[in-house]
């Protein structure tokens, strides 16, 4: 018998047990729900050191046969089959363990942010325009007009810095119409966003990010060890500060001289191998992203001493991008110029820009993909395994 606490052996001995009970349990399909009452005995051979000798059994819900997906099968099923029958798949203790890790990370992040004086916020997910480029926007019919699903809370968390909230965080869904089918993209993901006012350069943002990650992984490990979760052992020892690798240095590792476009998946993997070998830390920052690479990110803050570079960074884990962030441009005139440079019209951002008109401190923050972090920490080959009911170009059900 299995429940959320684990599996317990129920033993019926032929000849000794009530024949009616024997007949009932003998033909009962796997995964049915039963209530069993009986005497608990010590047993050397049973997995918890105990077994239950049933006296009364009540069948609560009979499972249909055959099961479309085995729960205790040794042979692994294809991911597609597993996701098609996700409720049965989630019954596997090894799959449930992923979501216990996920929940521990979420509560760890909340606790760490609260201890650091951050306020939890919730920003709109139905928007008139996007912040992360038009290509991945999902339009939705909105009464007589059109709206878009939020790709990130970017503009709103900055506006709340303008509102004087100073330190905010949000854990919420983000939507991106990702046309390509990869193991690291889904169309609905959970974004952990933070924004911090009165920063003194990008390292204030990186320091906060590595700090909350360190707190969160430490507290999650303790919590999961107490719960005997097998994923606890795989969580890394956190050593801060994480290494900081300039974009140009990483490019030179790949013999790349053109610094005007972003690293692709293969580049990120190759950089990850070198970085982890060199610095011995699965986490590392790629820093000083060139302005040319961040051309579409109109709100990115550029370096005053060298405007060809932004203060932007990515946080990667063994070659997988987990987060992106940096200081923002907080001066209205420069922000408007950057919006125009990105080929956009400042007039369509008037609600956002108003937040910069009446006093806006220097600020910065990041967006971190919770699903990517779970994928990395649980060593999942596919990000879809990190979500209960993942959504992608081809999957809207179950
Ligand atoms: P990538 O280059 O990997 O497509 P991105 O740079 O476009 O990601 P950002 O705009 O920087 O993504 O978003 C911040 C974080 O949100 C990313 O670092 C990643 O962890 C997560 N993220 C972004 N898009 C997706 C997606 N489609 N599926 C899952 N997580 C995502
Ligand atoms: Mg990014």
- Are 185 and 299 found together in one domain? yes
Is the residue at 80 inside a domain? no
pLDDT at 48: 87
Query: Which residue lies with its CA nearest to atom 1 of ligand 1?
Result: 321
| Nearest-ligand number for the alpha carbon of 135 | 1
Q: Residue 253 sits in a domain of what CATH number?
A: 3.30.930.10
| DSSP category for residue 377 | H
pLDDT at 204: 98
Is the residue at 76 inside a domain? no
pLDDT at 82: 97
- Are 350 and 215 found together in one domain? yes
User: How many domains does one find in the chain?
Assistant: 2
Is the residue at 45 inside a domain? yes
**Quick check: helix, strand or coil at residue 342?**
coil
Question: Mean pLDDT over residues 183-196, rounded?
Answer: 98
Is the residue at 252 inside a domain? yes
Q: Is the pLDDT of residue 131 over 80?
A: no
- Are 284 and 330 found together in one domain? yes
pLDDT at 340: 96
| Ligand 1 pocket, residue 291 CB under 6 Å | no
368, two tokens: 């971190």
Domain boundary among 15, 47, 66: 66
- Are 39 and 109 found together in one domain? no
- Are 210 and 331 found together in one domain? yes
- Are 58 and 104 found together in one domain? no
Question: Mean pLDDT over residues 297-314, rounded?
Answer: 96
Q: 39 pLDDT band (50/70/90 cuts)?
A: very high
Q: Residue 11 sits in a domain of what CATH number?
A: 2.40.50.140
Query: pLDDT for 197-222, tens place per residue?
Result: 999 999 999 999 999 999 999 999 99
Q: Is the pLDDT of residue 180 over 90?
A: no
Is the residue at 79 inside a domain? no
Is the residue at 396 inside a domain? no
Query: pLDDT for 67-109, tens place per residue?
Result: 999 999 888 899 999 999 999 999 999 999 999 999 999 999 9
Rounded Cα–Cα distance for residues 301 and 297 (Å): 9
- Are 6 and 48 found together in one domain? yes
| Ligand 1 pocket, residue 324 CB under 6 Å | yes
Rounded Cα–Cα distance for residues 324 and 367 (Å): 6
pLDDT at 18: 86
| Ligand 1 pocket, residue 210 CB under 6 Å | no
- Are 19 and 133 found together in one domain? no
Question: Mean pLDDT over residues 327-333, rounded?
Answer: 98
Query: pLDDT for 220-248, tens place per residue?
Result: 999 999 999 999 999 999 999 999 999 99
The range of the structural domain enclosing residue 258 comes to 93-386
Q: Is the pLDDT of residue 134 over 80?
A: no
- Are 146 and 41 found together in one domain? no
Q: 153 pLDDT band (50/70/90 cuts)?
A: very high
3-state helix, strand, coil in the chain (%, to 5): 35, 25, 40
Domain boundary among 66, 81, 112: 66
pLDDT at 33: 97
- Are 53 and 107 found together in one domain? no
| DSSP category for residue 129 | S
| Ligand 1 pocket, residue 297 CB under 6 Å | no
Question: Mean pLDDT over residues 352-363, rounded?
Answer: 98
* CA of 369 relative to ligand 1 center, distance in Å: 6
Q: 14 pLDDT band (50/70/90 cuts)?
A: confident
Q: Is the pLDDT of residue 114 over 90?
A: yes
- Are 100 and 62 found together in one domain? no
Q: What is the pTM of this model?
A: 0.96
Rounded Cα–Cα distance for residues 363 and 336 (Å): 17
| Ligand 1 pocket, residue 372 CB under 6 Å | yes
Mean of the per-residue pLDDT values for the chain? 95
* CA of 85 relative to ligand 2 center, distance in Å: 32
pLDDT at 46: 85
pLDDT at 45: 87
The count of other CB atoms within 10 Å of the CB of residue 33 is: 12
pLDDT at 172: 98
Query: Which residue lies with its CA nearest to atom 28 of ligand 1?
Result: 185
Q: Is 136 left (phi over 0), alpha (psi -120 to 50) or beta?
A: alpha
- Are 206 and 330 found together in one domain? yes
**Whose structure tokens read 């937040």?**
355
| DSSP category for residue 395 | B
| Ligand 1 pocket, residue 294 CB under 6 Å | no
Is the residue at 74 inside a domain? no
Is the residue at 397 inside a domain? no
Q: Which residue has the higher pLDDT, 100 or 295?
A: 100
pLDDT at 47: 84
């Amino acid at each position: 018998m299995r429940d959320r606490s684990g599996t317990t052996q129920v033993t019926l001995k032929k000849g000794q047990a009530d024949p009616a009970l024997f007949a009932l349990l003998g033909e009962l399909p796997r995964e049915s729900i039963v209530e069993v009452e009986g005497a608990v005995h010590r047993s050397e051979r049973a997995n918890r050191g105990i077994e239950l000798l049933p006296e009364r059994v009540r069948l609560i819900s009979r499972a249909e046969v055959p099961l479309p997906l085995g729960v205790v099968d040794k042979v692994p099923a294809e991911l597609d089959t597993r996701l098609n029958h996700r409720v049965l798949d989630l019954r596997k203790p090894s799959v449930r363990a992923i979501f216990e890790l996920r929940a521990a990370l979420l509560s760890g992040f909340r606790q760490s942010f609260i201890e650091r004086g951050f306020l939890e916020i919730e920003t709109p997910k139905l928007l008139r325009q996007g912040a992360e480029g038009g290509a991945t926007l999902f339009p939705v019919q909105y009464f007589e007009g059109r709206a878009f699903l939020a790709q990130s809370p970017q503009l709103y968390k900055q506006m709340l810095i303008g509102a004087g909230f100073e330190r905010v965080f949000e854990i919420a869904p983000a939507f991106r119409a990702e046309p390509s089918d990869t193991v690291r993209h889904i169309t609905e993901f959970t974004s952990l966003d933070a924004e911090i006012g009165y920063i003194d350069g990008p390292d204030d943002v990186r320091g906060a990010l590595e700090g909350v990650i360190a707190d969160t992984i430490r507290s999650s490990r303790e919590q999961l060890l107490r719960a005997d979760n097998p994923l606890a052992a795989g969580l890394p020892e956190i050593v801060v500060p994480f290494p900081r690798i300039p974009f140009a240095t990483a490019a030179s590792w790949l013999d790349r001289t053109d610094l005007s476009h972003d690293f692709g998946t293969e580049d990120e993997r190759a950089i990850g191998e070198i970085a982890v070998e060199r610095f011995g830390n699965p986490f590392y920052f790629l820093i000083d992203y060139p302005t040319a690479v961040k051309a579409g990110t109109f709100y990115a803050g550029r370096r005053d001493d060298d405007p060809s570079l932004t203060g932007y960074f990515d946080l990667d884990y063994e070659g997988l991008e987990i987060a992106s962030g940096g200081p923002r441009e907080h001066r209205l005139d420069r922000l408007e110029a950057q919006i125009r440079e990105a080929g956009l019209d400042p007039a369509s951002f008037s609600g956002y820009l108003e937040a910069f008109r009446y006093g806006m401190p220097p600020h910065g923050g990041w967006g971190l993909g919770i699903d990517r972090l779970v994928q990395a920490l649980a060593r999942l080959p596919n990000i879809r395994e990190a979500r209960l009911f993942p959504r992608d170009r081809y999957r809207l059900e179950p």
